[in-house]
Amino acid sequence: MAEHELSPARLEAVSDGVFAVVLTIMVLELRPPHDPTLAGYLALWPHAAIYVVSFTTLATFWVNHRYLFSYLRRVDDRVLWSNMALLFFLSLIPFFTASVGENQLVAFTTAMYAAALTAAGLAFAALAVSVRAQYRAAEMPAVFRSRVSLIHAGAQVTHASAIPVAFVHPMLSLIMLLVPAVVYMTKLTRPSS
């Protein structure tokens, strides 16, 4: 390997660091209630709801990123920049999480949050296409030609659909954003099942 090449392990380590920082920033935004009673804690439900959606979504992005990188042969410019785009959009999640929680799930902030997740999903799709391009058709791993690709597409459609739904019913939009993350936790997303 030439000295100027970036190893897949190094890019994965940088990515893992960004995931860790994003999760840390997000948890630091959680604040205890001023009124330490059940009512005080119940008043924080918008913060708790968006935190659960954000944490679960970030967790599934991280798991899928690690899984995708297990197929990465080399870091070329296409992989490098699509990965950086993904990390950029994921780095916005704490901001939008705090915004949605602070504004009590209002339509506009929920729509912006859904748009950020949609952009992150598109960046992940670009990264997956970049990794897939490193294989010839005859040696294509099953993960790139199975129902997993359909599930990724379905997740993107769900995230994008959550944007206009936010203007009608913000909580329904959040539920829609959580559904793909829950699906990714099942065996449906594993080509061997």
pLDDT in tens, 92-139: 999 999 999 889 889 999 999 999 999 999 999 999 999 999 888 888
Is residue 179 pLDDT above 90, yes or no?
A: yes
Task: Give CA–CA dist 190/70, Å, rounded.
Answer: 13
Largest interatomic CA distance in the chain: 63
Round to whole Å and give the CA distance between 61 and 23.
Answer: 12
Nearest Cα residue to 107 out of 160, 157, 174, 177: 174
Q: Is a pLDDT exceeding 60 seen at residue 46?
A: yes
107, 166 in Cβ contact below 8 A?
yes
Q: What pLDDT, on a 0 to 100 scale, did the predictor assign at position 148? A: 75
| pLDDT the model gives residue 4 | 61
Round the average pLDDT of the chain to a whole number and report it: 89
- pLDDT attached to residue 1: 45
Give phi and psi for 5, each to the nearest 5: -80, 145
How far is the C-alpha of 167 from the C-alpha of 83, rounded, in Å?
A: 31
Six-digit token string for 38: 């059940």
Q: CA geometry: angle at 147 spanning 71 and 193, to 5°?
A: 80
**What are 36's two structure tokens?**
């330490």
Q: What is the pLDDT of residues 154-164, one digit of tens each?
A: 999 999 999 99
Q: b/e map of 166-193 (b: 16 or more CB within 10 Å)?
A: beeebeebbebbbebbeebeeeebeeee
Residue 104 gets the label, from left (phi > 0), alpha (psi -120 to 50) or beta, of left
Q: What is the pLDDT of residue 192?
A: 56
Structural tokens at position 13: 């380590």
Residue 193 — pLDDT band, cuts 50, 70, 90? very low
> Which among 17, 151, 145 has a CA at the least distance from the CA of 87?
17
Q: Where are the domains of the chain?
A: 8-30+45-189
- Under the banding of pLDDT at 50, 70 and 90, the label for residue 52 is very high
- pLDDT-above-90 percentage for the chain: 62
Task: Give the model's pLDDT for residue 32.
Answer: 83
The pLDDT confidence band at residue 191, using thresholds 50, 70 and 90, is low
pLDDT at residue 69 in the model? 93
Structure confidence at residue 45 (pLDDT) = 86
Q: Phi, psi (5° rounding) for residue 75?
A: -100, 105
Residue 14 has pLDDT above 90, yes or no: yes
